[in-house]
Structure 1
Amino acid sequence: MSQRYNPKSVYQERLFSFRQRFQHLEGVASRLSRWRLFSFCIFLAGVGVDLFIFFSWIGTILGVGGLILFLFLVFRHQRLRERLYFFRSMVEVNQEAIYRLERDWSKLPSRLFPPSSQGEGCLYAEDLNLYGYGSIYHLLNLPVSYDGQRILGEWISQRASLEEIQLRQRAVEELMPCLDFRQSIYAHAKRISSKDLGKVLGIWERVGDFYSGLRWVWFFVVILSGVGMGVCLLADILGLLWGRLWLIFLLFHFGISSYFSQDFQKRFQMFSRVMGDFATFVCIWREVVGLEWRSDLLKGVRRDFELALERRSGGINLLLLFLEARNAAIVQLPFQLLFLWDFYLLFWVEVYRRRLFPFYREVLQQLGRLEVLVAFASFGWDEPKRCFPSLISSPPYRFLARGIGHPLLARERRVDNDISLDSLGKFLLITGSNMSGKSTLLRALGVGVVLAQAGAPVAAEEFVAPLVELVTSIQVRDDLREGLSYFMSEVYRIKTAVELVESSEEVVFFLFDEIFQGTNSEERRIAAVEIVRYLLRKGAMGILTTHDLTLAKSGLWRDAAVPYYFTESVSEDGQIFFDYILREGFSPSRNALRLIRMVGIPLEGVE
């Protein structure tokens, strides 16, 4: 499938549009902040007039009017801040999308990769650059939540069942054209402050309910303080002398606030983070329910979000507004001294905790799955050529990759190629000189298999493959800690293929680059031929690269080998150029000596 649009142009237009809207709202927010300060000064002036003049309707009108105007402006400003944050996030999302298209790794977010998604136990992770800087994980790493990053790591390192792969493919295919939805989900998710929210909620759960053993505090505050202060203030406004008793309540409020201040501060800090993230979940839920979904996975996400949040999220934004206002000293101090509003807010907080806690873990899981599906869909939408692979679960097996390229290369640098294996017991034998593209093609095919078995699109026009056990030997290193030489490290890699082909019910697909180059040429040829022939007899299929033409043309495996090669051209001034195009047959060229001379190393006496 080829694109009929230019992703970079689309992202640039959206970047400009959201930046313009953000700058406009910044000006509006600045003016609103000044009006908010002015209204609070009116409120303070009214309180001052009423405090020092025994009976003043002017003070009452100024105080009440200023307070009402201030609260209205706080509410409006909070709503405006929500929109500002969203537009700023959308600016970042589209800028990141451009960096992702350009494969500018240094400017893409390098989020902490959870230990569980580092590919531990995944034998081909290092060979295929699945994790780390400039990796497949880095390319796909749109998930912001801890669960999203964990699930992404698991999906690209663990093969799913055919049924699960097909469910993911249908969900990703449905999400691909929904650019506004995908970017909105990412923009909202960027607001999650607690990346490992489950851990934060676990701590909050252990903190316990403030009122569980202090019911008398709540009763005392409501009856004596709340009602008493209200009655005295009303009496003072009406000019009654005893109304001045509210000053005694003021002193009492100061004492009880000081006593509970540390406990309150700890609870409010923690809950502000949690509630802010739950508010983000509510925004994401509203995005999800705003569209009708056909795929079962997306229907499941919508159902679980509705079950957890639909009847339990009412008033959450209003509570966040008050929690935000509490952080402002000019609001917190007078309201706490006059009304002890921390006790009321904390009671409200505890109500929400009891409502939401039984459901938050499922919400986190579903958010993580949705983030990964959005990441897969965004990858597919960005690709100049992409397809959803056809996976074969029963004979006859074949492997076809038409127009496949390596997704870690920017589209303008990528060269696509076609390969085909029509049955088991066959392998692709690729020859070519150094730097001609053999290893890159191996990695491209390996990444294609990984993405296909994760349920993601593949950077190819067509991709057909069986469900396979993937084995690679590409980026082999010696291991000083384990006492393994280069050759022995490679032997253990090959051993994995032999063990899998003997025990696995799935097809074994091998990718071997320059097999056994750590030993002498004669033994290398014998070992390579015998091992590949053994794997093929057991029903494996795969690809082997080499620049050893004697090994490549060995008659011992010619019936099973499908030969292809890469080559290069040499200019008149001796410069080497590679076109990275795969051709049928055996390589006619060698270039090792020429490359050595190109970097300035003299080879005297060598023609």
Structure 2
Amino acid sequence: MQRDAIARVERRWADLPAPWQPPVSPDHPYAFDLDIVGRASLLQLLNTTATRMGRETLSTWLLSASPPAEARARQGAVAELAPQLDLRQDLEHRGRTAANDEADPAPFLAWAEGPDSLSGQTWLRWYAWLGPAALGILAAASYFGLTPYPLWAIPLLLNLAVGATAGRSAYHTISAVAADHRAIAAYAGQLELLTTAPFTDAHLQRLRATFGEGAASAPAMLRRLGRLASMAIPPSSMLYLPIQALTLWDVHVVFALERWQQQAGSQVRAWLEALGTFEALAALAGLSHDNPDWVFPQLADANDRLVATQIGHPLLRGDVRVHNTVTLGPPGTFLLVTGSNMSGKSTLLRSIGVNTVLAQAGSTVCAEALSLPPVAIWTSVRVQDSLERGVSFFLAELQRLKLVVDAATQANEGGSLRVLYLLDEILQGTNTAERSVAARQIIAYLVQQGAIGAVSTHDLALADDPRLEPLAHSVHFTDTVGEGPDAPPMSFDYQLRPGVATTTNALRLMRLIGLDLDEATADPAPVRG
């Protein structure tokens, strides 16, 4: 755990455990464009959870916006958990003791919340005691010569018949619990830690109250269940059949499990969901602890714009990260980001997007200050063509932009959150003339629908469009050409400046990588056949 923690701080992605990949649609509004999932992603950076419930809770928070009140409640919990390093590491360590930290609790929950399989059969409850007792008595009588015939064979055969009849139901019940009894014990250890921690935050106290107290508390009940599950004998054991024939052991184990089910089964889901929430909060708290200069954002319905002071990209190391101050909104305007290649436009858009995701999850953000309204993030940053689906790059970009436009329309009609859009190099897959017209129409429509956002481009004609100029707040990045033999040929400071970019660098980049071609090649002589 310590090695992983250091690797997270230093952003050494190759040294971190392989990232868990939640099921995410290819059309997700922002997951892939903003590196929320996958390798070198926000989820990989944050994920210190040890259970499937924790992973699913954390990924849900990162992949969908939470209501502001819920995000603010998490902020208080994160603030209390952040300095409690020992508690967070102990929680993770106890979770890792499970035999399979990817174990799906669904079968266990289905059993806990499902119907009894044997408890309603009163005759079986009586026979489970009387059958083995009769077998023992008659076997002893036969041994001492008190019976002329081996009468003990009668209850033995009956035991085998009853065991076979009840065996299928017993097997399913025991399998649902016994297969994960080590995981159940791990859950109990985690819950025991959380029920004894002296939390003062109201959100943490409410979560802890879910676990109950005393002998009926979640850790006590799960430990009891773990002991019951460990009593089951595997069918593959050589002792399984003799013990079943002599004692109907499976039937007794199932009756004990179903008594537990009747007492606590309806509470199990709430326990595991609360545990997953604790783990996800601990993950956000770890990010806050590792980055003490990050701040909690101000998330409020009354905000009509996103205002970020010295915002940086959370996935970059601190020594290479550059911070900028930026505003998106109010409605009726958009941020136009221009600049030459490699100057930092895409990184700025991702910085805004990733920090917005963190803000709405209840985390600290990589900025000196951030205020924003609740928003639905939509991006078009990393568009890909698809040979399998027969989709060209340009068509893929159009399909993506259609999703953004539809989301803005729905939001304006009152059906969802205000859209925050981040469009990188909009419509770069077509010619300049048509790109300018189409981009202008899309941007104007998004502005009209009340969405707020940013558009990056190095098409300076778009910045000069008289119909967009009144709506645009223009900023730019630039590059510096080195002078002198020891100076780098080109450098970037990644600092945002007001206005539209005045320089380009495509031809200089060509020369830097060795594509310094003669002008004559632009009009080559005909090739003779």
* TM-score with structure 1 setting the length: 0.70
Partners of 1:399 and 1:464 within 8 A in 2: yes
2:453 partner SS:
strand
User: Which residue, out of 254, 274, 283, partners 2:189?
Assistant: 283
Residue 184 of structure 1 corresponds to 90
Distance in 1 separating the partners of 2:229 and 2:412: 62
Describe the SS at the equivalent of 1:430.
strand
Give the counterpart letter for 1:359 in structure 2. Answer: Q
1:521 to 424, 432, 443: 432
Distance in 2 between the 1:259 and 1:210 partners?
12
User: Secondary structure of 2:429's match?
Assistant: coil
Residues 66-105 of structure 1 correspond to what in structure 2 (within 5 A)? 93-105=1-13
DSSP 3-state at the match of 2:63: coil
Equivalent position of 1:199 in the other structure: 107
Residue of structure 2 equivalent to 1:381: 289
Secondary structure, in 3 states, of the residue corresponding to 2:212? helix
Measured in 2, the distance between the counterparts of 1:436 and 1:349 equals 64
Match 1:148 to one of 34, 48, 54: 54
Q: Deviations over 1:502-542 (max 9, x none)?
A: 43585443322122222222333344345434544554432
Please say if residues 163 and 251 of structure 2, whose CA atoms lie closer than 8 Å, have aligned partners that are also in contact.
no
Would the alpha carbon gap of residues 606 and 279 (structure 1) be closer, same or farther in structure 2, given more than 3 Å must change?
Answer: farther
What does 1:448-597 correspond to in 2, within 5 Å? Answer: 448-479=355-386, 481=389, 483=391, 486=394, 488-489=398-399, 491-493=401-403, 495-496=405-406, 499-500=409-410, 502-504=412-414, 507-529=418-440, 531-536=442-447, 539-554=450-465, 556-559=467-470, 560-570=472-482, 572=485, 575-597=489-511
Q: How many residues are paired up? A: 505
Equivalent residue, structure 2, for 1:84: none
In structure 2, the gaps of 5 or more residues are: 522-529
Which structure 1 segments of 5+ residues have no match? 1-92
Q: Tell me if structure 2 keeps the 8 A contact 1:250–1:337.
A: no
Q: 2: CA distance between counterparts of 1:230 and 1:106?
A: 67
**Contact 1:478-1:484 at 8 Å conserved across structures:** yes
CA RMSD after TM alignment: 4.2
Specify the code of the residue in structure 2 equivalent to 1:439. S
Alignment check: 8 A CA contact 1:282 1:309 kept: no
* Alignment partner of 1:598 is 2:505: no
Higher mean Cα deviation, 527-536 or 306-315? Answer: 306-315
* CA–CA distance in structure 1, aligned partners of residues 136 and 225 of structure 2: 23
Contact 1:162 1:393 in 2 (8 A): yes
Distance (Å, rounded) in 1 between the aligned partners of 2:29 and 2:219? 44
Task: Spell out, residue by residue over 1:393-426, the C-alpha distance to the aligned partner (whole angstroms, 9 max, x if none).
Answer: 226x343212322222233332222223574434
Q: Does 1:363 align with 2:274?
A: no
Give the letter aligned to residue 177 of structure 1: P
AA matched with 1:125: A
* Matched residue, 1:58: none
SS at 1:587 equivalent: coil
CA distance in 2, matches of 1:590, 1:226: 93
Q: Distance in 2 between the 1:493 and 1:268 partners? A: 48
Distance change >3 Å, CA 562–CA 212, structure 1 → 2: same
* Corresponding position of 1:24: none
- 8 Å CA contact retained: 2:33, 2:380: yes
Q: Which residue of 2 aligns with 1:409?
A: 316
CA shift for structure 1 position 442: 0.4
Look up the equivalent residue of 2:456 and give its one-letter code.
Answer: T
Paired residues of 1:436 and 1:568 also in contact (CA < 8 A)? no
What is the alpha-carbon distance in structure 2 between the residues aligned to residue 211 and residue 590 of structure 1?
78
Q: Quick one: higher RCO (CA 8 Å, sep 6+), 1 or 2?
A: 2
Determine the C-alpha separation between the residues in 1 that align with 2:71 and 2:421. Answer: 21
CA distance in structure 2 between the partners assigned to 1:577 and 1:359 by the alignment: 60
Q: Which of 31, 34, 47 is the matching residue for 1:125?
A: 31
Q: Deviations over 1:453-487 (max 9, x none)?
A: 22222122211122234332222234553756515
Q: Provide the C-alpha distance between the structure 2 equivalents of 1:605 and 1:165, rounded to a whole number of angstroms.
A: 59
Is the CA contact 2:188–2:220 (under 8 Å) kept in the aligned structure 1?
no
CA distance in 2, matches of 1:592, 1:570: 16
Where does residue 135 of structure 1 map in the other structure?
Answer: 41
In structure 2, distance between residues paired with 1:224 and 1:518: 80
Corresponding residue to 1:310 among 216, 226, 234: 216
Q: Given that residues 311 and 368 in structure 2 are in contact (C-alpha distance below 8 angstroms), is that contact kept between their aligned partners in structure 1?
A: yes
For residue 300 of structure 1, what is the aligned residue in structure 2? 206
How far apart, CA to CA, are the structure 2 residues paired with 1:200 and 1:322?
Answer: 14
CA distances 1:333-367 after superposition (whole Å, capped 9, x unpaired): 99889877555444323322222222222223222
What one-letter code is carried by the residue in structure 2 that aligns with 1:403?
Q
Contact kept? 1:335, 1:341, Cα under 8 Å: yes
2:350 corresponds to 1:440: no
> Does the 8 Å contact 2:421/2:454 carry over to 1?
yes
Q: Against the structure 1 CA distance between its residues 578 and 211, is the aligned structure 2 distance closer, same or farther, given a 3 Å change threshold?
A: same
